[in-house]
C-alpha cells in the first residue's frame, strides 16, 4: 500500500501538461493585449507631441496673430499691440458686425491660445475688442 501506482503519476503529468498549455495560451493573450495597448499609447503620445508642437511655439503664434491682423478689414483698426510676460495684448477699435464676425472666426479657428476677449459696444454699429493671447 505504500506504492504509488504508475497510472497516477502518468495522469498527474498529463494534467500538468494541459495546465501549462492553458496558462501559456492565457499569458500569450495577455501579452498580445498589452502590446496593442502599448501601440495605442504610443500613437496617442505622438499625437500629443504634435499638438504641443503646434500650440506651444510663441514665434509661430505671433506670426499667425500678425497675419490675421494684417488682413485688410483689421489692419487700419488695430490701435495697440503689446507683448509682455508671455502675453500678446491687442486692441481693435470701431469694428462693425461683419468685421467682428470675420475676426472672431479667424481667431477661433487658428491654433492659438486665447486668454481673454473683451468686447465693448461703442454705439449701435461699432465694437471695440481687446484680445489677450498666450505666447
Closest CA to 129 of 92, 78, 74: 92
**Max Cα separation, the chain?**
109
- What's the distance, Cα to Cα, between the start and end of the chain in Å? 87
- Whole-model pTM: value is 0.61
- How many helices (H) and strands (E) the chain has is answered by 4, 4
Phi-psi region of 13 (alpha: psi -120 to 50; beta: other; left: phi over 0): alpha
Judged by DSSP in three states, 108 sits in: helix
Quote the pLDDT of residue 1: 56
What confidence tens digit (pLDDT) does each residue in 112-126 have? 888 999 999 988 888
What confidence tens digit (pLDDT) does each residue in 27-82 have? 999 999 999 999 999 999 999 998 888 778 888 888 888 888 888 888 888 889 99
Amino acid at each position: 500500500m505504500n506504492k504509488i501506482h504508475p497510472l497516477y503519476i502518468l495522469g498527474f503529468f498529463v494534467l500538468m501538461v494541459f495546465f501549462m498549455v492553458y496558462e501559456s495560451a492565457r499569458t500569450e493573450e495577455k501579452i498580445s493585449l498589452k502590446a496593442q495597448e502599448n501601440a495605442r499609447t504610443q500613437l496617442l503620445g505622438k499625437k500629443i507631441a504634435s499638438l504641443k508642437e503646434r500650440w506651444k511655439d510663441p514665434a509661430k503664434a505671433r506670426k499667425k496673430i500678425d497675419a490675421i491682423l494684417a488682413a485688410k478689414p483689421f489692419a487700419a483698426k488695430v490701435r495697440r499691440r503689446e507683448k509682455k510676460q508671455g502675453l500678446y495684448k491687442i486692441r481693435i477699435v470701431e469694428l462693425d458686425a461683419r468685421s467682428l464676425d470675420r475676426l472672431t472666426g479667424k481667431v477661433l479657428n487658428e491654433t492659438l491660445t486665447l486668454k481673454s476677449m473683451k468686447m465693448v459696444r461703442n454705439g449701435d454699429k461699432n465694437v471695440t475688442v481687446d484680445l489677450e493671447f498666450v505666447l
